[in-house]
Amino acid sequence: MKKISIFDLTIFIGLIGVLTLFSKLNAATSDPAGKKWESLMTIINQEIQTIRSSTVSGPELRHRLFELYSEKIKLIKEKENNIFLKADPKRIAEKGKDYFFKSSTEQFNNSQNFGLKIVQDYPQYAKNNEIYYALAVNSRDYGTGKDSEKLLLLSLKAGTKNPQIAYNAKVGLAEYYYNEKKYNTANIYYEDVLKDPKNEWYSKHLYNSSWCHLKERNFKKALSLIKEAYQESNKKQNEGVKSQILNAIGIFFVQADAAIEGVDFYLKNAKPASTYLVNLAKSSRSKNDFPLTDSIYKTALINSIQEKNADQEISIRLEQLEFYREHKKTDLFVATAKELVQLNKKNKMSAENISAISNKIKELAGFMQVNLVKDKLQEVITFNKEDYNKIVILFDLLASLDKENRSLYRYYQGETAFSVADFKSANLFYSRSIMITKKTKKITPQTIKTIDSLLTSIEHTKLSKGQEDRLTIFALKNYLIFYPISDRSQKIYQKLFSKYFTLKQYKRAINIALVYHDKYPADQAIHKEMITQVLDAYIKTKDIENLTIWVNIIDKGFLHFPDTFIQNSIVVLGSLLFEKNQLLEKSNKLQEARAGYKAIFDSKFYPQKIKSEAAYAISSVYLQENNSQDSIVWFKKSIENYPKLDLMKTTSSIYNLAKGHRLLQNFKNSTEVSKTILTQFCTTNFEKKDDFYELILINSVLEKVSIKNILKLETEYSKCKISENKISQIQTDILLILITDDQYENLFSYIKSKELNETSKKMVHNYLHFKFWQDPKGKLEDFNNLTSKYPALTIDTIISEYDALVAYKEKVENVKFIFSSEEKFNDEKYNSELEQYLAILNNLTNDAVKLSKTASLEVVSELQNIIPTPYAALNKSILNFQPKGVDAAYLKGFNQGMRHISESLSAKILQFDREKMMFFDKNHFFFEVKFHAKLGTEKTNIEQILDFHPSLLHSKKVELSGEKK
């Protein structure tokens, strides 16, 4: 075998170190139990074996062996760590931690001894400083570190042929002394280390040195160094420690009394700045400068809001809560707590945050609550009202945050109010607590305390009787809801029943009695007494509805009441029911009343007279509901068994019933009711007898029964001792109806066999007058036949007036206004003709005036329509005439003169028109009604039918010629 030289070994070791060992170290340690780890361990062992098998000896190879041993420590340690992390905790506890690191510890000890042996054997070896440094690092990383200081100092003492090793040793010493809290000594070495600003760890060394100065209370120097470290950390050649600096620099600013500068620093250099500003504020708290720290917190808060960082905002406000509590700034604490509650509503905090906020609020609220009243034994309690209000607010906030325990917080509010004798507020808070419990159905030990506290508070509160009753009922009722069966519940049931009964709240009292019966059925005697009290009260107050319900219930055997008690109750109930239904009817609650009457009618408990009255009442109610048909059905049911004497006493009421049917235009039913009574009591005098007779006849006319049947009814029922005046009056009324309905033929059929009284005669005459002027030509022949048929009717005047009017109209129509027309205008002849024509107009006007003085209003009205006609004709003739053979000047003067005459004629026509309208206004009612008949100036049915302006007559009337306009 060829002998390996030192040179060859050196190359071999170098190749392994560069190409294999160090390139695979990270990969192997990241997979301590995998193939890569095994591969690297094999390479290290092979290299170790190669060196050991060499016959060459010297410090260089031994130095290389030491390096390999050190690398092997790392590999073994990594594998052990992996095993340790996966080990069962019980096994770790049983074996102890050292058990899992035996191999690495053994390798460490062997490696250290080997390294120390090298420097002992070769004290002049040029790289002893490297060996000492490596021993120090091994001691620090894998041993106890107790030898690190000594080894690092030996490394420096061994020489500085490798400046980097010397530099690293100084760094190691600086860090060692820092960890040992020998900050001044550490800084001696940092001063040398910091002389090399190009070192990649320069910013870190500045940072570490700043901490040493801070620990030595050289605050300004420390701040200067850490600020420089931050600047250096921005350079690429420096290892970044920026985050460490940002986290720590706040302390430096505070200790150097430069907190405001720190705020500016973070706002400029940190994004977001709020996290770091909070740390700055925390550091500032050590200075006990409240305004300064508060300002920093608020700046952090503003920054978090600007950054829209809700989580950070919550975190800052939490810090503020603690800060304000420490400094007893309760106003600020409450305000901040409110903001947190609002944040929770907007962003729904985590359970952890809600718990943290709630705990802080509870802590302060509890503290303030305990200290609110200093001396609770004083007669007049003194307390700080602002603190009282704050405590109440704090519990409000807790209720908003911790909804599960809202009832508890309302209870605490009540306790707080009670402690300061604010009993009204205490009542309110206790009540709210109870209501929340009722809603959530979450009953806790505090629930019964709340009810008891409310009852106690009520006793201390100056309340009106009504308020006290309401609150007491509220407390007792909810006690039974929460604790339906308990050692106190029986007494509470009885107490609540008595309270309701005293307040006349009988329905609630019965409900309590029923629940009591359900929960404690053995107390039947008490239950029966409760129900009896309420029934007596229903009878007194005439509470029919509830009395009915309970009579039915006890009749079915509830609580086993005696039969005599039940029967007496039914009798009383029947009497009250009828009275109640009458009241309902008067109150226009007709459907309810009808149902009540029917219940009486259907019941087998009531006598026949009451049932007949109930049927009659139902008939009356149906009529009020405009239901004529059902009304007549029940009327028949009523009189079937109605005692005759009692029925006759109700004839006035029955008459109103009959009239009601008539008002509903059900004349048949109205007549049937009237016939029933008048037939049954035909020979007996009773109130409204004549009126029933009138209804029968008038209903028949209105129903348009044949005249033959109407005359038959008159004959039949006039025998029932009807007064002559009533018979005469009804005849007149029948005529009036026939006239107003314009039943021309029926009118004459009716009066054929009658002897008309004067009123009837006048009325018929006026009707004929009206009919004639509706259609004079059509009625002439008819009217000429009336005189022989009905001698009592005088119609000669009507016809003579008509004849005079026709003659006058013909006279007007025969007048012609034609001016002579010659080639040479003859003004004398024209003036003569004009005077003649004007005289004719005057004569026509005078004739019309003479005729109107004795004529009827219809004639006058027609004359007013006729008289303007000749005036208009002359006016037209004047305007159309033009003289011939005259010059323009003459023609102009002639036309001007004729225009004056034309205007005069037009004015006369307008005057006639105004007079006509004045005539219409003066005679506003229809002619026959206004000036004729028995009516005088009073309006009756006919007037209501015929009451319209006379101008309407002229718009609808028939012309004298018989042709319609």
Please report the pLDDT score of residue 655 as a whole number: 86
Strand partners, 964: 958
CA angle at 591 for the pair 587 and 594, rounded to the nearest 5°? 95
Which span out of 571-575, 624-628, 784-788 was modeled with the highest average pLDDT? 624-628
Strand partners, 958: 964
Question: What number is the average pLDDT over the span 850-870?
Answer: 84
Contact, 693 vs 720, CB < 8 A?
A: yes
> Given pLDDT bands bounded at 50, 70 and 90, which one contains residue 787?
low
Please report the pLDDT score of residue 5 as a whole number: 37
Query: What's the burial of 95, exposed, middle or buried (CB within 10 Å: 0-12/13-18/19+)?
Result: exposed
Is the pLDDT reported for residue 529 higher than 80?
yes
Query: What's the burial of 307, exposed, middle or buried (CB within 10 Å: 0-12/13-18/19+)?
Result: middle
Q: Which helix (H) or strand (E) element contains residue 313?
A: helix 310-326
Compute the mean pLDDT over every residue in the chain, rounded to the nearest whole number. 82
Please report the pLDDT score of residue 614 as a whole number: 87
Per-residue model confidence as pLDDT tens digits over 742-767: 887 788 778 776 777 778 777 877 77
Is the pLDDT reported for residue 41 higher than 80?
yes
Residue with tokens 């609150």: 471
Name the token pair of 580: 């109640």
Question: What number is the average pLDDT over the span 642-647?
Answer: 80
CA distances, 417 to each of 411, 427, 645 (Å): 10, 9, 76
Question: What number is the average pLDDT over the span 920-948?
Answer: 42
CA distances, 694 to each of 662, 663, 674, 798 (Å): 12, 14, 9, 34
Which span out of 39-43, 129-133, 576-580, 838-842 was modeled with the highest average pLDDT? 838-842
Residues 454 and 437: their CA atoms lie apart, in Å, by 14
pTM metric for this prediction: 0.50
Per-residue model confidence as pLDDT tens digits over 93-148: 988 888 888 888 888 888 889 888 888 888 888 888 888 888 889 888 887 778 88
Is the pLDDT reported for residue 940 higher than 50?
no
Please report the pLDDT score of residue 735 as a whole number: 85
Is the pLDDT reported for residue 945 higher than 50?
no
Per-residue model confidence as pLDDT tens digits over 216-243: 999 999 999 999 888 888 876 555 688 8
Please report the pLDDT score of residue 965 as a whole number: 33
In sequence order, what DSSP letters do the residues of 441-500 get, joined into one string? T---HHHHHHHHHHHHHHHHS---HHHHHHHHHHHHHHHHHH-SSSTTHHHHHHHHHHHH
Q: 3-state class of 938 per DSSP?
A: coil
Question: What number is the average pLDDT over the span 863-871?
Answer: 89
Residues 1 and 35: their CA atoms lie apart, in Å, by 32
Radius of gyration of the chain (CA): 63
Please report the pLDDT score of residue 398 as a whole number: 92
Contact, 744 vs 771, CB < 8 A?
A: yes
Q: 3-state class of 332 per DSSP?
A: helix
Q: What is the 3-state secondary structure (H, E, C) of 769-823?
A: HHHHHHCHHHHHHHHHHHHHHCCCCCCHHHHHHHHHHHHHHHHHHHCCCCCCCCC
Distance from CA of residue 12 to its chain's centroid? 90
Task: Count Cβ atoms below 10 Å from residue 714 Cβ, excluding itself.
Answer: 21
Please report the pLDDT score of residue 957 as a whole number: 32
Per-residue model confidence as pLDDT tens digits over 274-323: 888 999 998 888 888 899 999 999 998 999 888 888 888 889 999 899 99
Is the pLDDT reported for residue 45 higher than 90?
no
Share of the chain above pLDDT 90, in %: 18
**Exposure on the CB side of residue 565, measured as CA atoms within 13 A:** 18
Residues 456 and 470: their CA atoms lie apart, in Å, by 15
Question: What number is the average pLDDT over the span 438-450?
Answer: 90
Name the token pair of 247: 């986290």
Residues 125 and 119: their CA atoms lie apart, in Å, by 7
The length of the chain is: 965
Contact, 435 vs 407, CB < 8 A?
A: no
Closest listed residue to residue 432, CA positions, set 452, 455, 450, 457:
450
357-361, 569-573, 854-858, 903-907: range with lowest mean pLDDT: 569-573
Q: 908: Cβ–Cβ under 8 A, 6 or more apart, which residues? A: 871
Is the pLDDT reported for residue 569 higher than 80?
no
Residues 756 and 731: their CA atoms lie apart, in Å, by 9
Please report the pLDDT score of residue 333 as a whole number: 92
Name the token pair of 937: 């100036």
Please report the pLDDT score of residue 371 as a whole number: 87
Name the token pair of 73: 């420590």
Q: Which helix (H) or strand (E) element contains residue 339?
A: helix 330-347
Is the pLDDT reported for residue 784 higher than 80?
no
Per-residue model confidence as pLDDT tens digits over 535-563: 888 888 888 778 878 888 888 888 888 87
Q: 21: Cβ–Cβ under 8 A, 6 or more apart, which residues? A: 40, 43, 44, 47, 71
26-30, 55-59, 702-706, 850-854: range with lowest mean pLDDT: 26-30
E-strand stretches of 338-439: none
Which span out of 55-69, 563-577, 820-834 was modeled with the highest average pLDDT? 820-834
Please report the pLDDT score of residue 10 as a whole number: 40
Residues 786 and 933: their CA atoms lie apart, in Å, by 19
Question: What number is the average pLDDT over the span 320-328?
Answer: 91
Question: What number is the average pLDDT over the span 357-377?
Answer: 85
Is the pLDDT reported for residue 6 higher than 50?
no
Share of the chain above pLDDT 70, in %: 88
Name the token pair of 188: 């001696």
CA distances, 408 to each of 80, 395, 435, 455, 867 (Å): 55, 9, 12, 17, 104
Contact, 598 vs 630, CB < 8 A?
A: no
Is the pLDDT reported for residue 396 higher than 90?
yes
> Given pLDDT bands bounded at 50, 70 and 90, which one contains residue 29?
low
Per-residue model confidence as pLDDT tens digits over 895-918: 898 998 999 999 988 988 888 788
Task: Count Cβ atoms below 10 Å from residue 957 Cβ, excluding itself.
Answer: 19
> Given pLDDT bands bounded at 50, 70 and 90, which one contains residue 514?
very high
Is the pLDDT reported for residue 30 higher than 60?
no
Contact, 658 vs 695, CB < 8 A?
A: yes
Where is pLDDT greater, at 63 or 773? 63
208-212, 568-572, 715-719: range with lowest mean pLDDT: 568-572
Q: 3-state class of 4 per DSSP?
A: coil
